[in-house]
């Protein structure tokens, strides 16, 4: 990695030149394209059985029903997944938490990935998926709902939104926004999810 380096400088510069490092990958057989990664909770524990789909963004823009034809994988007991035969190009990675273990309510997430043919492509970081508390939530549509979301256990926190101001996965404006307090590892501190 880092097989290309560019430096920019100018006469009279008394500081360091600007340097950029970029990596290039050789394009391979498109049928050997994969997308891999890992799904973790906020304590870095694996989240198994999460369904991950990869579809060309252009296909999803034509019709959201094209997700049915997307390449699919599930995270294993270690939270790892690999989509074999992934599409090549601008890809929408759809993370479906509804199938996750242990049982609970998990969100759906979307990532934009540019895949390179014949290579193992990654999101570049773990996918963090936490269970959602339905206690602190407000639902909204394009024309109704919204308001101010607060958490009694976190004084001073508030999130205000109006109808049509929230965009959910799939570019819809209908859904619920929730805020969940989750423990951080073994400490007693809490964080907002």
Rounded to a whole number of angstroms, the distance between the first and last alpha carbons of the chain is: 33
In the chain, what are the domain boundaries? Answer: 30-128, 137-192
What are the φ and ψ backbone dihedral angles of 89, each rounded to 5 degrees?
125, -145
Q: Kindly list the averaged pLDDT for each block of 10 residues, start to end, along the chain of length 193.
A: 80 91 84 96 93 88 71 96 95 93 86 94 93 84 91 89 88 86 44 41
pLDDT of residue 188: 31
Exposed, middle or buried by CB within 10 Å (0-12, 13-18, 19+), for 137? middle
* The token pair that represents 33 in the structure block: 């394209």
- pTM over 0.85, yes/no: no
Superfamily of the domain at 30-128: Immunoglobulins (2.60.40.10)
Strands (E), the chain: 4-8, 18-22, 34-40, 51-56, 71-74, 80-84, 89-96, 108-115, 120-122, 127-128, 137-140, 147-150, 158-161, 175-178, 181-183, 190-192
Place of tokens 């198994």: 48
pLDDT of residue 2: 61
Q: What angle (nearest 5°) sits at the alpha carbon of residue 36, between those of residues 33 and 40?
A: 170
């Amino acid at each position: 990695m880092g097989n290309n380096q560019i430096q920019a400088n100018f006469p009279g510069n008394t500081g360091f030149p600007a340097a950029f490092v970029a990596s290039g990958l050789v394009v391979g057989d498109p049928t050997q394209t994969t997308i891999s990664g890992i799904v973790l909770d906020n304590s870095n524990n694996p989240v198994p059985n999460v369904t991950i789909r990869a579809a060309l963004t252009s296909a999803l823009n034509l019709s959201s029903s094209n997700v049915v034809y997307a390449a699919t994988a599930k995270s294993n007991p270690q939270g790892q997944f690999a989509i074999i035969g992934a599409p090549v190009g601008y890809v929408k990675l759809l993370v479906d938490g509804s199938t996750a273990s242990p049982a609970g309510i998990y969100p759906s997430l979307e990532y934009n990935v540019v895949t390179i043919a014949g290579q193992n492509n990654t999101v570049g970081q773990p996918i963090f998926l936490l269970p959602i508390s339905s206690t602190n939530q407000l639902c909204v549509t394009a024309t109704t709902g919204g308001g101010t979301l607060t958490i009694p256990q976190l004084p001073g926190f508030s999130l205000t939104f109006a109808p049509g101001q929230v965009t959910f996965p799939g570019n819809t404006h209908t859904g619920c926004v929730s805020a969940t307090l989750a423990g951080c590892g073994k400490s007693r501190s809490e964080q907002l999810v």
